[in-house]
Structure 1
Amino acid sequence: MYYLSTDYSMTWNHAFPMGLKKLYLNSVPFPWENMNIIGWLPDLHVLQMTAIRVNKTSEWRTEEGQFLQLKYFHSSLDYVSKWEMEKEHFPCLESLIIDRAIWIYKFPSGVGEIDSLQYIELKDCQQSLVDSAKQIQKNQHENGNNAFRVRVIDYKGEDVLF
């Protein structure tokens, strides 16, 4: 496990051990353009990125061969205005938790096509992102994945049922 929550800058291309299984980034300056560094970690199963300090909106594009073992992703998607990915980029993802994402308005279509995905949780997010998650749930259920569920928590910390 590797946990980083300090205020100093790192040489990101040499920061993480290749055998890393869990990575927690909290309140660090980490531009989304550097996500490829994390995406290529071959054994990463858990990634939590919250309060990432960047100063400009960004687009995040994953690439084929990245995040191949990732099962759990929790992020606030700070300043991500557009996320592009294909289901092959997260073939093992089971849980996706998005926390207070205010810049992104919908999930990429590839999220709804991930066969292993069982759970999306949204905490205090834009209504359009909630609607996008509802559509993913509908599609998953139509495709026979009745175990798939979406949980929405509003800004007061209360579950919103739909």
Structure 2
Amino acid sequence: MESIPNARSLLCFGPKQPYPIALYLGFRLLKVLDAVSIRFYEFPLQVVKLVHLKYLAITYDGEIPSSISCLWNLEVLIVSQHNNIKRSNLPVYLPIEIWKLHKLKHLQCMGLDLPDPTSADDDSLVVEKLLTLSGVSAHSVTVGVLARIPNLKKIGIKIESAHDSVETFSFLGGDQFSNLLIRSPENVTSVPIQFPLFLKKISLSGCGFSWSYMRALNCLLHLETLKLRWYAFCGPVWETSDWCFSDLKYLLLEDLDLKRWDSTRDHFPSLERLVIRHCYNLQEIPPDFAGSKSLEEIEVHDCRKEVTVGIEKQRKRYRNIKCGLRVRFSGDDEKAK
């Protein structure tokens, strides 16, 4: 690789490597470095010399050095973990110098948190261009931190205790956020949460909510995308009753223990795409969904065949050619109908 010293991008493809691999980083004009597939046991200090970098993505389990602030052109920083094992009960913070990356737009750091810049007594520590923050825990969602990210639109939070869920969402008010992702590995967010009213996209995973708590989401009149993964809600029956998701366009149900979904298309008048994955207990979708005028596609992955058969019967009954159906089982090629 030394023969192309003026390279602008270095992309490392393939599965993640379990062992360290020597990577040449002598490209002084490099702007994009995507090395997520390579595991670093020590932070590659050559990286901080690449001052033209705009995009940096690596896999590293340790602490980020303060010299990261040398990458003053950086717009995207992604730090993935090789091991998702929690290292201690104490938060592990990014260096305070991370606040000097004033061009940063996207920050994704699994297992790391943003330090509170107010402790540094420096008013210049503001990242006005940051739009997306994900992978952090509740320790990053404080008044001091959010005040220094005035244009933040999307936030992904890892909840590790019920106390975190209460403490965190007391700060998420107003209309600042349009996209919220919550990941809870141990079903600890069963404590009711007051969601920001102006959210347009929500992704929940591992929260363990009761289906009755779906009313809290139904109050979000601007909600357009709802993704429920890995026991985000628990229980055999989801009954929408008189609830109406008036603006919802995309609904994902994945790895849920849901058996019966009692609803009607009138409760989802704007739904355009329905995706159901690995819901092995689900018996059928609501009996009139395929007759919806707004619904364009239903995707079914690894569910009971009765679900697919029921959808096909609905399409024939309503003669809905517009509503496509994609079915896939593990080991099979995807079938579009």
TM-score of the pair, normalised by structure 1: 0.86
* Separation of aligned partners in 2, 1:117 and 1:22: 18
Give the letter aligned to residue 36 of structure 1: R
Structure 2 match to 1:30: 209
Structure 2 residue corresponding to 1:9, chosen from 189, 198, 202: 189
| Deviations, residues 22-41 of structure 1 (Å, cap 9, x unaligned) | 00012222222211211221
CA RMSD of aligned residues (A): 2.0
* Separation of aligned partners in 1, 2:247 and 2:238: 19
Checking the alignment, whether the CA contact within 8 Å between 1:50 and 1:77 is kept in structure 2 is yes
* Residue 58 of structure 1: how far off its partner (Å): 2.3
Give the letter aligned to residue 47 of structure 1: L
Which moves more between the two structures, 83-92 or 1-10? 1-10
Change (3 A) 1:70 1:53: closer
Give the letter aligned to residue 73 of structure 1: L
Aligned length: 157
Q: Which runs of 5+ in 1 are unaligned?
A: none
Higher Cα Rg: structure 1 or 2? 2
Please state whether the residue corresponding to 1:12 is helix, strand or coil.
coil
Checking the alignment, whether the CA contact within 8 Å between 1:58 and 1:79 is kept in structure 2 is yes
* Residue 94 of structure 1: how far off its partner (Å): 0.5
Change (3 A) 1:2 1:157: farther
Kindly report which structure 2 residues correspond to 1:69-148, keeping only aligned pairs within 5 A, or say none: 69-76=247-254, 78-140=256-318, 142=319, 145-148=320-323
Please state whether the residue corresponding to 2:312 is helix, strand or coil.
helix
| Deviations, residues 34-83 of structure 1 (Å, cap 9, x unaligned) | 1121122111000000111566x421111334211000001126121111
Give the letter aligned to residue 116 of structure 1: S
Structure 2 match to 1:150: 325
* Separation of aligned partners in 1, 2:233 and 2:321: 38
Give the structure, 1 or 2, with the largest relative contact order (CA under 8 Å, sep 6 or more).
1
Checking the alignment, whether the CA contact within 8 Å between 1:40 and 1:66 is kept in structure 2 is no
Structure 1 match to 2:334: 159
The runs of 4+ residues in structure 1 deviating greater than 3 Å are: none
Identity of aligned residues (%): 24
Checking the alignment, whether the CA contact within 8 Å between 2:190 and 2:209 is kept in structure 1 is no
* Residue 128 of structure 1: how far off its partner (Å): 0.3
Give the letter aligned to residue 262 of structure 2: E
Q: Which runs of 5+ in 2 are unaligned?
A: 1-178
* Separation of aligned partners in 1, 2:181 and 2:233: 19
Checking the alignment, whether the CA contact within 8 Å between 2:271 and 2:294 is kept in structure 1 is yes
TM-score of the pair, normalised by structure 2: 0.43
Checking the alignment, whether the CA contact within 8 Å between 2:328 and 2:334 is kept in structure 1 is yes
Please state whether the residue corresponding to 2:269 is helix, strand or coil.
coil
